[in-house]
């Protein structure tokens, strides 16, 4: 725990808060409106609520909780496709645990399992491949989702299945890409953003260069951030320093994990197995061009979308659910009219209340009532 504790040191946190307060006091725009900083990654959102970081910051800083939770942005129609595959006779449907409770238009995967579908929780795509080896009389389908963080593991599993000649294994591919998502957010008329905390896990794979357009074309700073309290506070300070100095650059606070050039073997596997979709539907954000991937034709034998007849329809969220506004940072979780009443982790209406990285679930668990600012 030595190295973990170093990133949770109270005295260092207080020192960083003082530095943040000093920088904010010198930023002209902070005298007229809040400085809006979006943390793109759901892991950051979870840490911010867990450690009460939002309440420690000066009132002039507004943290905007972005769409970086892949389970949360999965549209309802794709959940219905999962259920349709899972309910196909002879299918074992393998999924990560946090995806089992995401509501579709009729039911979730957990409800389908309760009704007799063979839905199994796994910890990696290799676990699903092991199920295919152990059950050659069944079709095993792995529910592949996540940003570039989890793309390589799925790609390498497909390559392993190909090498072993395993014919009863396929992937329902819902992997998504981070860069078009940030661009769509920057182009949104609803938001005025001053800077970003970049996603640490995604950057571990893709490196820092893909974010250069944010600084070059949109003149916004982005700091790739780690996930411990001191990581996040230091990254916020780095963003504020750039704003104060009139700079817009891509900086890497998480250099102990994130190489500037990314992970070459992982990127090679990704480019070998996947190709970009023309567009992909996001929950609450609509269709975003080139924001998802699918398997290349060379790997069609492992593509569940080619193997199974799917409903493949677009279904709107319940009107009472405001996941879209929360995902885009237009409102805070507690401002949703069903938050904590009709929508709770036990009875979620929207995906943001399901995943531990969802802003609503994180605030419900750690936030209590509205976060009290300036309490540190």
Domain range annotation of the chain: 76-176+292-307, 323-367
Alpha-carbon dihedral angle through residues 252, 366, 64, 294, given to the nearest 10 degrees: 70
- Mapping DSSP onto H, E and C, the string for 336-374 reads CCCECCCECCCCCCCHHHCCCCCHHHHHHHHHCCCCCCC
Decide which of 65 and 89 is more confident. Answer: 89
pLDDT of residue 375: 38
Element housing 286 (H / E) = strand 286-289
pLDDT of residue 213: 96
How confident is the model over 283-289, as a mean pLDDT? 82
Whole-number Å distance between alpha carbons of 98 and 43: 14
In this predicted structure, the answer to whether residue 326 has a pLDDT above a threshold of 90 is: no
Whole-number Å distance between alpha carbons of 202 and 262: 9
pLDDT of residue 89: 97
Q: Is 150 helix (H, G, I), strand (E, B) or coil?
A: coil
Percent of the chain with pLDDT over 70: 94
The β-bridge relationship of strands 169-175 and 293-295 is unpaired
How confident is the model over 342-356, as a mean pLDDT? 77
Decide which of 71 and 195 is more confident. Answer: 195
Other residues' Cβ atoms within 10 Å of the Cβ of residue 52: 16
How confident is the model over 309-337, as a mean pLDDT? 78
In this predicted structure, the answer to whether residue 234 has a pLDDT above a threshold of 60 is: yes
pLDDT of residue 283: 77
Predicted confidence band at 371 (pLDDT cuts at 50, 70, 90)?
Answer: very low
pTM of the model: 0.88
Q: How far from 279 is each of 154, 199, 256, 282, CA to CA, in Å? A: 20, 22, 34, 10
Whole-number Å distance between alpha carbons of 151 and 123: 14
Q: Are 82 and 59 in contact (CB under 8 A)?
A: no
Predicted confidence band at 356 (pLDDT cuts at 50, 70, 90)?
Answer: low
Decide which of 357 and 168 is more confident. Answer: 168
Q: Is 63 helix (H, G, I), strand (E, B) or coil?
A: strand
Predicted confidence band at 2 (pLDDT cuts at 50, 70, 90)?
Answer: low
Percent of the chain with pLDDT over 90: 68
The mean predicted confidence, pLDDT, of the chain is 90
Whole-number Å distance between alpha carbons of 123 and 208: 28
pLDDT of residue 259: 95
pLDDT of residue 368: 52
How confident is the model over 229-246, as a mean pLDDT? 98
CATH of 76-176+292-307, one of 3.40.50.11740, 3.40.50.1100, 3.40.50.720, 3.30.930.10: 3.40.50.11740
The β-bridge relationship of strands 286-289 and 279-282 is antiparallel
pLDDT of residue 367: 67
Predicted confidence band at 103 (pLDDT cuts at 50, 70, 90)?
Answer: confident
DSSP track, 159-185: HHHHHHT--SEEEEEEEB-HHHHHHHH
**pLDDT digits over 40-77, tens only?**
998 999 999 999 999 999 999 999 988 878 887 888 89
pLDDT of residue 211: 97
Instruction: Please choose, from the candidates 66, 44, 6, 76, the residue with its C-alpha nearest in 3D space to the C-alpha of residue 282.
Output: 76
Q: How far from 227 is each of 30, 31, 46, 49, CA to CA, in Å? A: 26, 29, 9, 12
Predicted confidence band at 374 (pLDDT cuts at 50, 70, 90)?
Answer: very low
Q: Is 99 helix (H, G, I), strand (E, B) or coil?
A: helix
In this predicted structure, the answer to whether residue 306 has a pLDDT above a threshold of 50 is: yes
Decide which of 54 and 1 is more confident. Answer: 54
């Amino acid at each position: 725990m030595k190295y973990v504790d170093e990133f949770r040191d109270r005295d260092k946190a207080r020192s960083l808060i003082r530095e943040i307060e000093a920088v904010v006091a010198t930023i002209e725009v902070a005298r007229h409106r809040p400085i809006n900083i979006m943390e793109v990654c759901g892991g950051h959102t979870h840490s911010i609520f867990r450690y009460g970081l939002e309440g420690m910051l000066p009132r002039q800083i507004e943290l905007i909780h972005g769409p970086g939770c892949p389970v949360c942005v999965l549209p309802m129609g794709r959940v219905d496709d999962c259920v349709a595959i899972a309910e196909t006779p002879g299918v074992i449907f393998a999924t990560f645990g946090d995806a089992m409770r995401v509501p579709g238009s009729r039911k979730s995967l957990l409800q389908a399992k309760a009704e007799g579908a063979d839905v199994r929780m796994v910890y990696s795509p290799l676990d699903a491949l092991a199920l295919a080896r152990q059950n050659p009389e069944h079709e095993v389908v792995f529910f592949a989702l996540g940003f570039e963080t989890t793309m390589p593991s799925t790609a390498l599993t497909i390559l392993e299945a190909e090498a072993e000649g395993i014919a009863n294994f396929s992937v329902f591919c819902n992997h998504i890409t981070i860069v078009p998502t940030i661009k769509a957010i920057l182009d949104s008329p609803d938001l005025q953003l001053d800077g970003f905390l970049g996603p640490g896990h995604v950057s571990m794979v893709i490196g820092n260069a893909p974010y250069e357009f944010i600084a070059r074309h949109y003149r916004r700073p982005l700091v790739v951030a780690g996930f411990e309290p001191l990581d996040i506070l230091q990254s916020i300070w780095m963003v504020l320093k750039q704003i104060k100095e009139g700079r817009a650059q891509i900086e890497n606070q998480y250099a102990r994990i994130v190489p500037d050039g990314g992970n070459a073997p992982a990127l090679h596997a990704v480019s070998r197995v996947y190709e970009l979709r023309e567009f992909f539907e996001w929950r609450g954000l609509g269709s975003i061009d080139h924001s998802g991937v699918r398997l290349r034709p060379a790997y069609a034998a492992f593509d569940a979308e080619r193997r199974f007849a799917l409903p493949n329809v677009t279904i709107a969220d319940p009107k009472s659910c405001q996941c879209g506004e929360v995902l885009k940072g237009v409102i805070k979780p507690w401002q949703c009219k069903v938050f904590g009443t009709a929508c709770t982790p036990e009875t979620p209406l929207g995906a943001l209340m399901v995943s531990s990285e969802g802003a609503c679930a994180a605030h419900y668990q750690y936030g209590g009532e509205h976060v009290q600012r300036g309490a540190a």
